[in-house]
Amino acid sequence: MPRPFELDPLFRNLATLPGVGPKGAKLMEKLVGGGKILNLLWHKPVDVIDRRFSPPVAQAPDGKICTLSVRVIQHVPAARRGLPYRVVCADASGSMTLVFFNAKKDWLDKMLPLNSDVIISGKIEHYNGGIQMVHPDALVKASARAEIPPFEPVYPLTAGITNKMVRKALAGALPLIPSLDEWLDPAHKKKNVWPNWDEALRQVHFKNAAEDSLDPQAPARTRLAYDEFLANQLALALVRRHVQKLNGRAWKNDGHLRQKILSTLPFTLTSAQVRTLAEIDDDMHAPLRMVRLLQGDVGSGKTIMAALAMMNVIECGAQAAIMAPTEILARQHAQSFMPWLNASGVHHVVLTGRDKGKQREAILNQIKSGSAQVIIGTHALFQDDITFHDLGLAVIDEQHKFGVHQRLLLSHKNKGTDVLVMTATPIPRTLTLTAYGDMEVSRLDEKPPGRKPVETLLIPQDKVEEMSLRIGTQIDKGAQIYWVCPLVEESELIDLQAAETRYDILKAKFGDRVGLIHGRLKPDEKDAVMEKFIKGDISILVATTVIEVGVNVPNATIMVIEQAERFGLAQLHQLRGRVGRGGQKSFCFLVYADRLSQAAKERLKTMRDTEDGFLIAEKDLELRGGGEILGTRQSGLPAFKLADMAVHAPLLLTARDDVKLILARDPELTSDRGKALKSLLYLMEQDQAIAYLRAG
């Protein structure tokens, strides 16, 4: 379905709005996150000025915004340059002075003719025993009172864009909002006392607004939040249905290779692992395509899950691949897999971006011929020149980077291939729905036994010296330490300076048992340092935040994080997850600067008090709200424009259920409501999902 033409005005360029122009449009585009009128309409006010208060002049209180009806009594031009021009006004209760700096006399004469009645609005000041208003925000003839709106929304701004510009542009945009056929279920809408979509949007911008329009729980705001969730869930459901319909394969295997692996494991699977494996097997044995997310904290034992799932397809003569986000992780996966693959007699290859020329060609040939049964690599595995003989299962290890899977799921190359996405970042359930609503979810919510808890200590910056003494004695006992230096700026170079300074200090104390790793090193240099650390040649690894998320060095038992207050909870949790992987007791030292914000205090306390990743994730959501969680922008988690996760999350669950019902009744969205829902997908820029409907 092409975009309904009623929507066209909303998709026009911002430059077509009054007072914007081409240059303003560029700035505004940055501010509102898109160049279309629609994007401006999603730009919500953060505050509002109430101009309804209209007391008699004599009773106008100091510091309050008042809208006054007055008569112009006298003009008092500035006595000399630099002094203000004054206009005395009065009503029956008393008089006041309007104060103008650098105002043009012509303009003042025109706007404030003697003895005329005017309405002025602005902040009242009591000054030298008199009442005055400096530069009124609004100034109109008495007959034009309607030009001063009772509520004046205040918008987030950027350099070059004033609130006045935003309001003027919106004044041009609001009349363009079409009234559309309703996509909500009538009963649900009625129960919530929600306005129509167009009315809701106008209310958010304080046109026909109620006093509480700024309240995220106001009907207009909750309706728009719901619309946004509905579009998100509908789009994900359509993608999921499409992906699952693609020629899935029912793997018929007897588990003999898996058995071989299991018999060599030095441990038994946790009950969470057993449950997860059963969920995976159910998918893989059924003819539908598997599209499953495996969520599990660092160290929860995801890797073995991947290997065991792979055997389902290997036993049937197909191939399995696992993709890691970085080279180091790919190689580490290869190492973990080695004993398992050897035990089951499965041949594997490793392919990363670093394999070049002949070597790469040889690997590609094995992948193409099928002699490589398991392929371990980075996302380089999905480059165009790579042909699989018969890829049955793709495991994607996303670590903390979200959203990579969507591209892969939809690429034509792996049609019908089962997909298992693994993520190490615990995400609150609600957010999982928004980012991975197109997948089934398994959770490894139980750590393998025998892990000692990591003791987390909060260390003030001025105690760092003491701490490093303590660390010295640990090193002598063979301990290994990660020392993470702060994220000072968005600049790798400046981060690096902090790390280098710390490196020098530690090196002076501990000599060449100290290593440094950072993002500016070449990949093989990074590997070399990492290798030394893994082997134990280095005792302290000073790092910028580049240290690889999934790297496993069981002997590392101490994590130091400097300026920990600068990190988000999710990141702190990831970093701490580097230790506590072996049998020994581990420590995490969170070093903080003396002045902490309330939120930073909360974060550090949370870290001290719990190691439960899911709990930490929920706390993160609470502290930061959905928009910011886990550094949403980089992560690829959807950022909502109208919905506020911290407030509206329950609506998301309703939207999910709503979508289930909608698609059960009207799978191709051909009913009137279905058509209206397609418009909603266009409005929310989720229309790529429309391609998956038969009616197109």
Q: Taking the complex as a whole, how short is the minimal distance between the CB of residue 632 and ligand ADP, in angstroms? A: 23
Q: Burial level of 8, CB count in 10 A (0-12/13-18/19+)?
A: exposed
**Is the Cβ–Cβ distance between 466 and 447 less than 8 Å?**
no
Q: Taking the complex as a whole, how short is the minimal distance between the CB of residue 161 and ligand ADP, in angstroms? A: 45
Contact flag: residue 577 with Mg ion (CB under 5 A):
no
What backbone torsions phi and psi does residue 154 show, to the nearest 5 degrees? -115, 125
Contact flag: residue 298 with ligand ADP (CB under 6 A):
yes
Contact flag: residue 301 with ligand ADP (CB under 6 A):
yes
Identified binder of ligand ADP from the candidate list 84, 136, 153, 299, rule CB under 6 A:
299
What backbone torsions phi and psi does residue 394 show, to the nearest 5 degrees? -115, 125
* Of 201 and 616, CB closest to ligand ADP: 616
Identified binder of ligand ADP from the candidate list 136, 296, 428, 486, rule CB under 6 A:
296
What 3-state class would DSSP assign to 265? Answer: coil
Long-range contacts of 165-169 (CB under 8 A, 24+ apart): 165/19, 165/20, 165/24, 165/28, 166/28, 166/40, 166/43, 168/17, 168/18, 168/19, 169/14, 169/17, 169/18, 169/19, 169/20, 169/28, 169/40
Contact flag: residue 195 with Mg ion (CB under 5 A):
no
Q: Taking the complex as a whole, how short is the minimal distance between the CB of residue 426 and ligand ADP, in angstroms? A: 11
Identified binder of Mg ion from the candidate list 550, 580, 613, 674, rule CB under 5 A:
550
* Of 266 and 511, CB closest to ligand ADP: 266
Binding residues for ligand ADP restricted to 267-286, rule: CB under 6 A: 267, 269-270, 273
Identified binder of ligand ADP from the candidate list 257, 304, 334, 349, rule CB under 6 A:
304
Number of residues that bind ligand ADP (CB under 6 A): 16
Distance (Å, whole) CA 400 – CA 1: 36
Binding residues for ligand ADP restricted to 530-559, rule: CB under 6 A: 550, 552
* Of 332 and 545, CB closest to ligand ADP: 332
Binding mask 504-543 for Mg ion (x = CB under 5 A): ----------------------------------------
* Of 554 and 568, CB closest to ligand ADP: 554
Binding mask 441-460 for ligand ADP (x = CB under 6 A): -------x------------
Smallest Cα–Cα separation from 502: which of 490, 518, 491, 522? 518
- The token pair at 387 is 């042909």
Only one of the segments 181-189, 292-300, 385-393, 568-576 lies at the binding site for ligand ADP (rule: CB under 6 A); that segment is: 292-300
Residue with CB nearest ligand ADP? 301
Q: Taking the complex as a whole, how short is the minimal distance between the CB of residue 424 and Mg ion, in angstroms? A: 6
Residue 273: which of Mg ion, ligand ADP, none does it interact with, CB under 5 to 8 A by kind? ligand ADP
Q: Which letter, b or e, does each residue of 328-363 get, where b requires 16 or more Cβ atoms within 10 Å of its Cβ?
A: bbbbbbbebbeebbebbebebbbbbbebeeeebeeb
What's the CA dihedral at 607, 608, 611, 617 to 10 degrees? Answer: -20
Residue 304: which of Mg ion, ligand ADP, none does it interact with, CB under 5 to 8 A by kind? ligand ADP
In sequence order, what DSSP letters do the residues of 611-668 get, joined into one string? --HHHHHHHHHHHH-TTTGGGHHHHTPPPPSS--HHHHHHHHHHHHHHHHHHHHH-TT
Neighbours of 304 (CB within 10 A): 19
Smallest Cα–Cα separation from 562: which of 500, 487, 506? 487
- The token pair at 31 is 């501010």
Contact flag: residue 45 with ligand ADP (CB under 6 A):
no
Ranges assigned E (strand) in 186-266: none
Binding region for Mg ion (CB under 5 A): 550
Binding region for ligand ADP (CB under 6 A): 267, 269-270, 273, 296, 298-304, 424, 448, 550, 552
